[in-house]
Structure 1
Amino acid sequence: MVLKYICLIRHGSREKYGDVKVTKIGSFNDPSDWYGHLHGPDDQLTATGRQQAQELANYLSSSHPEISAVYTSRHYRCLETIKPYVEICERDGKAINFRLDMGLSEWRRVDRKQARIPSIRQLKEYHPTLDAQCQSLCNPLGHENLDEFYARNAYFLANLIQSLDNDPDGPESVLLCTSASNIAWMARILMGKYPKNSMERDFSVPAISFYKFARRHVVPVNIDAGEKTPLGYPRVEWQNGTSIGGSWEITHNAECNFLSTGSMMLWTPSDIPKSLPPFEALQIPEPGFPNFFDIQELNSAAMTGPRVETETTITSTAVEILV
């Protein structure tokens, strides 16, 4: 079945931002010390964010019944955002393919700390039907400058569209849950828009904002595996007005009218830190910080004793066994 729709959703209001109302179109700069906190890179939703996630679930199930596949980032705030919708689908007996993909991970910038990837055991305990063992369509390969971040998102989308087009039982509509910068970059890629100024405010991304792209013209996806970026992503052509897999029209742009909270936690491309060079040196990422699941287990172990077991852990490049 040919893929007809791609839907994007940003995670809900998260702890390190707090419940920030959008009062005007403007930048929302990252406090510089957030990523120094133990659980800053992988925090949970606020109570408002959890309410938003439930309202999103109700909206999607009633207004977009054609969605039958969900891909989520491995970050806890994204898992927590999309889980209520998956639960509604399962409760109503609707078949839904729910999987995690590393290609939706947040921008791996040199100025940003990364949390450890959750293990398969942690993810399966969180939601039993989450397909945590599938091979990701794309893996982050290191610290990414602006061009490499474009390349990763383009390669992920190309792999997604190609794999679903070639699947006779594939979905007609897919929902991707990720972070704000990924959504702005993927929106540009699907529209074939490459602004000269990467900080142009062409897409604003509030919390739980919903985007939908309809495929108006279908062409086979072309991935040139022989030509790669310096970091190692295969090059995918999209910048000259021809988008990936044909042409895509945006039908829902930052829709938030289903939220009782209204727009919150606005992010625009202009929020990229001014100190981040557009062509920073490629570097190997440092070891990850504890993820949200790790922190909960550490807190539990402090009260009940450590948990000793062998577990399978997802890494950015492979699946390995850790003791």
Structure 2
Amino acid sequence: MLRHSEFFGRASWEHPTPPDLKTLTPLFDHLDQDYVSVHMPAPRGEMIVELHERVRNALDHIVTTLDNDPEQPRTVLICTHAATMIAAGRVLTGQMPEDPDTDDFQCFTAGLSKFVRKRADPEEGVAGNWTCELNSETSYLSGGAERGWHFNGDESFVAFPDDPREDKEASKL
């Protein structure tokens, strides 16, 4: 269970969090009881730049873990929310638009995106080392593309500094 999680804009209240292992274990047979989540979103939300940093850190962790796995897995399936998927596409391809509201990586309900690694050299890192071969493909769905989503501003509910990293209370990802 990797809780790279949903994106919630900054707020003065705490957003909901995913259930913990104790809650999920009776419902699912094959959860790794030794796994510890390491890339949690800030409880009071985050700005888009913070989301991208968190997703980059999570993807670095995932790919490094798989590269170091003696079984050398070649495929990983990530099921996530739209904002996180868009950030993942940008991190993996290294294509971060100047305006984060740019509609670059598509996110439709049950869309399938496929990213292929350019070089399997762990020294290359994750960011920019992937090509996007499928961008929220939906042709296998009877209704096709539905409920597309894209960023629309920072979606914050409170005012924060222009650069969230200047805010002493902001999450340091």
TM-score when normalising by structure 1: 0.45
- CA deviation profile, 1:227-267 (whole Å, cap 9, x unmatched): xxxxxxxxxxxxxxxx6277211111111111123222110
* Selected match of 1:138 from 39, 45, 56: 39
Q: CA deviation at 1:275?
A: 6.9
Partner of 2:117: 215
Correspondence 1:120 to 2:21? yes
Structure 1: runs of 5 or more not aligned: 1-99, 223-242, 286-323
* Selected match of 1:260 from 142, 150, 162: 142
Amino acid paired to 2:97: P
- Structure 2 vs 1, CA of residues 116 and 245 (structure 1 numbering), >3 Å: closer, same or farther? closer
Partners of 1:246 and 1:200 lie apart in 2 by 18
Partner of 2:106: 204
Q: CA deviation at 1:109?
A: 2.3
Partners of 2:33 and 2:149 lie apart in 1 by 29
Amino acid paired to 2:32: D
Contact 1:220 1:246 in 2 (8 A): no
Partner of 1:192: 94
Contact 2:91 2:127 in 1 (8 A): no
Amino acid paired to 2:131: E
What secondary structure does 1:175 align onto?
A: coil
Partners of 2:135 and 2:37 lie apart in 1 by 27
Amino acid paired to 2:29: P
Contact 1:210 1:255 in 2 (8 A): yes
- Structure 2 vs 1, CA of residues 273 and 216 (structure 1 numbering), >3 Å: closer, same or farther? same
Partner of 1:129: 30
Q: CA deviation at 1:118?
A: 1.4
RMSD of the alignment, in Å?
A: 2.8
Partners of 1:219 and 1:131 lie apart in 2 by 28
Contact 1:120 1:133 in 2 (8 A): no
- CA deviation profile, 1:106-156 (whole Å, cap 9, x unmatched): 124214852244132321122111225412242334532222111111111
Give the paired residue count. 165
- CA deviation profile, 1:299-322 (whole Å, cap 9, x unmatched): xxxxxxxxxxxxxxxxxxxxxxxx
Correspondence 1:110 to 2:10? yes
Structure with more of its chain in strand, by fraction: 1
- CA deviation profile, 1:177-234 (whole Å, cap 9, x unmatched): 1110000011011111121111111112111111011112133247xxxxxxxxxxxx
Amino acid paired to 2:143: T
Contact 1:106 1:178 in 2 (8 A): yes
Structure 2: runs of 5 or more not aligned: none
Structure with more of its chain in helix, by fraction: 1
What secondary structure does 1:173 align onto?
A: coil
Percent identity reads 25
Amino acid paired to 1:181: A
Q: CA deviation at 1:159?
A: 1.0
Partners of 2:106 and 2:152 lie apart in 1 by 10
Runs of 4+ residues deviating >6 angstroms: 274-277
- Structure 2 vs 1, CA of residues 221 and 182 (structure 1 numbering), >3 Å: closer, same or farther? farther
Partner of 2:79: 177
- Structure 2 vs 1, CA of residues 276 and 261 (structure 1 numbering), >3 Å: closer, same or farther? farther
- Structure 2 vs 1, CA of residues 149 and 206 (structure 1 numbering), >3 Å: closer, same or farther? same
- CA deviation profile, 1:15-67 (whole Å, cap 9, x unmatched): xxxxxxxxxxxxxxxxxxxxxxxxxxxxxxxxxxxxxxxxxxxxxxxxxxxxx
Partners of 1:276 and 1:205 lie apart in 2 by 26
**Equivalent residue runs for 1:22-61 within 5 Å:** none
Partners of 2:20 and 2:156 lie apart in 1 by 35
